[in-house]
Amino acid sequence: MAIRRKYSVSDVQKVIHALISKLISATSPWTSWQAVYGYPEGEVFNFSKLLVYVDTPIKTGTLTHQGGRPAVTMEIVLGCWNSGGDEGTGGVEECDIAAGHLLDLFGDVDVYSTQFTVTLGATTYTNKTLYDHGIIVTGSTGPRNIPVEDPLEYRREVTVSLIVTF
């Protein structure tokens, strides 16, 4: 279990970002997209690819059991934003494909077999899975259509529910 209790919010966000970055670096069609840690602010809209952003997770509850340290339940928003440098190439369909891949990733046991490398604090964890980090996926919902300002901009959000153990 690599997630640190006092840093659980940023650690979970880093782990999920590392997982998605790994897929983006190696697997088609993920390679057509770009992963962003946190909300994509103004300056990152120079990217020529669709953005997959990993927003800050929110703690939704605590799971207690006798004789053990409590686990926490969290929700994390993952978004797809087709915009920026390429003015939304692929259009709404590309955005829906990305959202579909996110939903499928977190709705399938394959999510536990992807190995990725992440640095939490001063320690680098090489080729670990989500399960090795103590994260269990309990569900994913969406995609929600998010209203945007520009006509050549498309945005969807998926919410993933997690149990984080320490």
Partner 1 sequence: MAISSECRIDFTGWEAKSTRIKYAISEAVKEAIDYGMDELSRKVTQNLGGMRHKAGTKSPSPGKLPVTMISGNLHQAVRHKRIDLTRGAVFIDKNKAPYAVHVHYGTKKMRPRRFMSDAVAERREAIINRQRYLIKLKIRRAGGNPSEILGL
Return residues touching partner 1 (CB under 8 A): 39, 41-42, 45, 55, 58-62, 75, 83, 146-150, 153, 155, 157
Taking the least distance from each CB to partner 1, the nearer of 87 and 110 is 87
CB of 32 to partner 1, least distance (A): 21
Q: Which is nearer to partner 1, 5 or 59 (CB)?
A: 59
Place of tokens 């955005």: 95
HEC profile of 70-95: CEEEEEEEEEEEECHHHCCCCHHHHH
Smallest distance, partner 1 to C-beta of residue 93, A: 21
The distance of closest approach from Cβ of residue 17 to partner 1 in the complex, given in angstroms and rounded to an integer, is 17
Return the number of the residue (33 or 116) whose C-beta is nearest partner 1: 33
Give the separation between CA 6 and CA 36, rounded to whole angstroms: 23
Query: By C-beta, is 94 or 153 nearer to partner 1?
Result: 153
**In the complex, minimum distance from the CB of residue 11 to partner 1, in angstroms, rounded to a whole number:** 18
Q: From the CB of 81, what's the least distance to partner 1, in Å?
A: 9
Contacts of 139 (CB under 8 A, 6+ apart): 106, 107, 160, 161
Residue closer to partner 1 (CB basis): 1 or 152: 152
